[in-house]
Amino acid sequence: MMLNRGKARAYANIALIKYWGKRDDQLVLPMNSSLSLTLDSLYTETEVVFDEKVDRDYFYLDGKIQDMESTNRVNRFLDLFRDAAGINRFAIIRSINYVPTGAGLASSASGFAALAAAANVASGLNLDHRELSIYARQGSGSATRSIYGGFVEWKKGTNEEDSYAVPIDDGKWDIGMVIVIVNSRKKNISSREGMKQTLLTSPFYNNWVESAEEDLKRIKIAIENRDIKLIGKIAEANSFKMHATMLGADPPLLYWEPETIRVMEIVYELREEGTPCYFTMDAGPNVKILCRLSDAQRIRRRLEQGFKSKHIIVAGSGPGITVL
């Protein structure tokens, strides 16, 4: 039965092995497989209502009507559900983002995963998690992984049907992240543009892809062994390699700010003092520190000496999509 209305929540994820580049722009097929940790304190809630009374899609984010660029992106995404379910109504979409939008904090991951989960209910399609991750992928690559909680792998696959997410480990152990928001402004170059530029122009790109696949194999073993030092070491190096590849692009892509490096230095200091913690950065200046959840408050206090408390977020491992 078609309900017309669906509401869901999805949590952000932070990649430990990064996705940076597509082999098919239209279908969002990645050049390499990636792996992330879903977080419990950053999420998006979205409601989709297919309504016969509206003459186009209306997209509200945090209560504000969105411009045509964002609305069209949502419109194209909802078309996947409309086409599959034979729905000819437009929709009213209301999203609340509990993640600073466009700050390199994966708001598109929780955003499109929540939208997919809500549209799944509203359209009556009843897709399972695997199918839903294939749909979410076409909204935003990283959204593929936010369908599940804990550690999640996005398999690059061989075609549009077998590039989806699989849960690797539920993350229900002493693991978490401390996020430092260095700058919450929307980034100048979106990840979509940035990865395209890198793939087309960076001489390091092929090496990046090869080395990411190797990192993925090794981190999966480290996760199985719950070896936080090895997980962190591999993740930190993988993030550096992605940024090195970006720096090789023409024009070069530099997402860091001076305070990004300041956080890295604090992480090195903490490590020297015996606290296992490791950083990772995405397409923005913010730093995510992987650590034991039981060490997170201590790490936060250290960071508070140089950063405002409201710019530091502690997160544990989060769940998958939840229908509300």
Q: Cα dist. 116→119, 168, 173 in Å?
A: 5, 21, 28
Shortest distance in whole angstroms from residue 111 CB to ligand PMV: 10
**Residues numbered 238-257 forming contacts with ligand PMV, rule: CB under 6 A:** none
* Chain-centre distance for alpha carbon 182: 18
Q: Cα dist. 280→118, 125, 222 in Å?
A: 30, 37, 17
CA distance 135 to 139: 7
Shortest distance in whole angstroms from residue 180 CB to ligand PMV: 16
283: contact with ligand PMV by CB under 6 A:
yes
Half-sphere exposure of 122 toward its Cβ, with a 13 Å CA cutoff? Answer: 29
110: contact with ligand PMV by CB under 6 A:
no
Region from 15-23, 158-166, 171-179, 209-217 binding ligand PMV, contact rule CB under 6 A: 15-23
Are residues 95 and 61 in contact, defined by beta-carbon separation less than 8 angstroms?
Answer: yes
Shortest distance in whole angstroms from residue 194 CB to ligand PMV: 8
Which one of 282, 285, 286, 293 is in contact with ligand PMV (CB under 6 A)? Answer: 282
Shorter beta-carbon distance to ligand PMV: residue 49 or 61: 61
219: contact with ligand PMV by CB under 6 A:
no
Shorter beta-carbon distance to ligand PMV: residue 108 or 120: 108
Shortest distance in whole angstroms from residue 108 CB to ligand PMV: 4
141: contact with ligand PMV by CB under 6 A:
yes
Q: What are phi and psi for residue 189, nearest 5 degrees?
A: -115, 120
Closest CA to 208 of 47, 31, 76: 31
Are residues 90 and 57 in contact, defined by beta-carbon separation less than 8 angstroms?
Answer: yes
**Residues numbered 30-89 forming contacts with ligand PMV, rule: CB under 6 A:** 34
Catalog residues that contact ligand PMV under the rule CB under 6 A.
15, 18-20, 34, 106, 108-109, 140-142, 191-192, 282-283
